[in-house]
Amino acid sequence: MEQEKADKPWWRGAVIYQIYPRSYQDSNGDGIGDLPGITGRLDHIASLGVDGIWISPFFTSPMKDFGYDVSDYCDVDPIFGTLNDFDRLLEVAHGLGLKVVIDQVMSHTSDEHAWFAESRTDRTNAKADWYVWRDARPDGTPPNNWQAVFGGAAWTWDARRQQYFMHNFLREQPQLNLHNPDVQDALLAASRFWLERGVDGFRLDAINFSMFDPTFKDNPAWEIGKRTITRPFDLQHHVNNQSHADIPLYLQRVRALTDAFGAIFTVAEVAGPDPLPEMKAFTKGERRLSSAYNFDFLYASSLTPGRVRRAQSNWTGPVEEGWPSWAFSNHDAPRCVSRWYDGAYRSRFAQMTNALLLCLRGNPILYQGEELGLPQAEVPFECLQDPEAIANWPLTLGRDGARTPMPWTLNDHEGGFTTGSPWLPMGQGHLEAAVDVQNADAGSVLNFTRRLLEVRKASNALTAGDISFEEVNAPLLAFWRSCEGERLLCVFNLGPSPQSRPACMREGADVLLASGWSQGNMPGPVPEYSVWIGRA
């Protein structure tokens, strides 16, 4: 077992803690979190027992999409600090044993990027083909029917070039032409810049949007059915504006670069209704990415044993087939505690979902505040910042409710997040769940999550083992994690009422961790919203 631990790369089975920098800790009183603020809170993160952090974009940006519209890949936006601040963050994180993963946005830039400024000047300049330009149809309409994620056509007219440019997201996020090898070279050079500074990995944002069908065929229509449609994007099968077959070939170039710097973690975000083939293609073998995650859980309206089994059953083979990552909440999705539960046992439910996330085979990504069991905040319309939330209000929860400030202390101004006015209001009930409150409570979600991470870190079965499911009746979920003679049973009751104890829960077993039970090895029924982890 110890030899296997020594042989596998640090990232396989690692727990990554996601930080949304605008909302983590403000160090200068402007109401926006920053890099020095993160550095000042790394002790908290290290105390959890996670293996590394992923920091959402902090690069120079006009912030139309809060950093996912990059205008300079190789610098820090002044609202977050300086390159020296980032270097200091790296130094402190590494001193605490934490790896540092950062975003790479490779499918588009900001329209204020110097590359786009040059590309749009005329049709013959050196970067004329760095973005996706097309002539209008004879009637002046866009080149095809492709729609943007945030609403409207995926094309905007530019009077300088007398052409349309493509954008899968906001019009301020023009699509890069990754079919152009020069664009690939420039993006890889930007990644090298951060690798040379010492980062340990990259999360590749919306990477399945990075290449398109160069024949620009229309997307076929999607059957509406009884769905409520908030954006035209959802009326199409996105087979031509994204997911091109050459993307894995570009990812091989990414992997070749990162391999020159050692065991670098690369994880792809893969959105869409059928993400599995792309995830497998992006991660297969030793020449592509380390891992990928999709939205199996991020937008799911309920948590069921069937959903968990289906998601895990796709990744039960050898590591060569690819290695998954999992997230229940993040900066783009409403917090899972609110999506999946509305009742009096919220803390217990949060302990159960954190345990489930950390017991799945793959890499868990724990979003800031998940260790506290924070619910989704309700942000009033007049305080909204997210362009998608504003456009679709009130039909969607939007993303702002998952991006509200981290609550550190119950009695300090704005929960200790800032001395000024926060960019988003503190979430309802979040102060009562603040870090200082939960630190002092042995039974809190925070302290349970720390114990859970201790159990995971000590177990090769949980970090790198196989998974197999017991046949139990819903809402029970039971599975084994096994590796090199170690075999752990993980039992969850995902429902609101006690369930009969399944036969696989041997009375008197060695209980490693339990939540919701008056005694961890109690032989009675399995309590509602509970978890039990024991050794066979």
Residue that terminates a domain, selected from 431, 453, 475: 453
Terminal alpha carbon distance of the chain: 17
Q: Known catalytic residues?
A: 205, 269
Token pair, residue 380, equals 């009033």
Radius of gyration of the chain, Cα coordinates, nearest whole angstrom: 23
**Is 159 inside a domain boundary?**
no
Tens place of pLDDT per residue across the chain (536 aa): 333 345 789 999 999 999 999 999 999 999 999 999 999 999 999 999 999 999 999 999 999 999 999 999 999 999 999 999 999 999 999 999 999 999 999 999 999 999 999 999 999 999 999 999 999 999 999 999 999 998 899 999 999 999 999 999 999 999 999 999 999 999 999 999 999 999 999 999 999 999 999 999 999 998 777 667 778 898 999 999 999 999 999 999 999 999 999 999 999 999 988 899 999 999 999 999 999 999 999 999 999 999 999 999 999 888 888 899 999 999 999 999 999 999 999 999 999 999 999 999 999 999 999 999 999 999 999 999 988 788 777 776 679 999 999 999 999 999 999 999 999 999 999 999 999 999 999 999 999 999 999 999 999 999 999 999 999 999 999 999 999 999 999 999 999 999 999 999 988 789 999 999 876 556 689 999 999 999 96
Using an 8 Å Cβ cutoff, are 101 and 54 in contact? yes
Instruction: Based on the fold, state whether residues 401 and 491 are members of the same structural domain.
Output: no
CA-to-CA separations, 468 to 158, 237, 483, 485, 530, in angstroms, rounded: 55, 34, 12, 15, 20
Strand order in the sheet with 133-134: 133-134, 163-166, 155-158
Number of domain units in the chain: 2
Q: Would residue 139 count as lying in a domain? A: no
What's residue 4's pLDDT?
39
* Residues of the domain holding 42: 2-109+181-453
- Is the domain of 374 the same as that of 482? no
User: Could you tell me the maximum CA-CA distance found in the chain, to the nearest angstrom?
Assistant: 77
Global pTM reads: 0.96
Whole-number Cα distances in Å, 289 to 216, 265, 293, 524? 28, 8, 11, 45
Q: Of 426, 453, 480, which residue is a domain's last?
A: 453
Task: Write the secondary structure of 474-487 as one string of H (helix), E (strand) and C (coil).
Answer: CCEEEEEEEECCEE
Boundary (domain end) residue, out of 403, 422, 453: 453
- Angle 181-197/247-259 helices, nearest 10 degrees? 30
Q: Are 102 and 205 in contact (CB under 8 A)?
A: no
Return the CATH number at 502.
2.60.40.1180
User: CA–CA distance from 430 to each of 87, 323, 349, 410 (Å)?
Assistant: 31, 34, 16, 9
pLDDT tens sequence across 333-357 = 999 999 999 999 999 999 999 999 9
CATH number of the domain that residue 371 is part of: 3.20.20.80
Q: What's at 332, amino acid-wise?
A: D
* Residue 521 backbone dihedrals phi, psi, to 5 degrees: -110, 25
Looking at the fold, whether 195 and 224 belong to one and the same domain comes out as yes
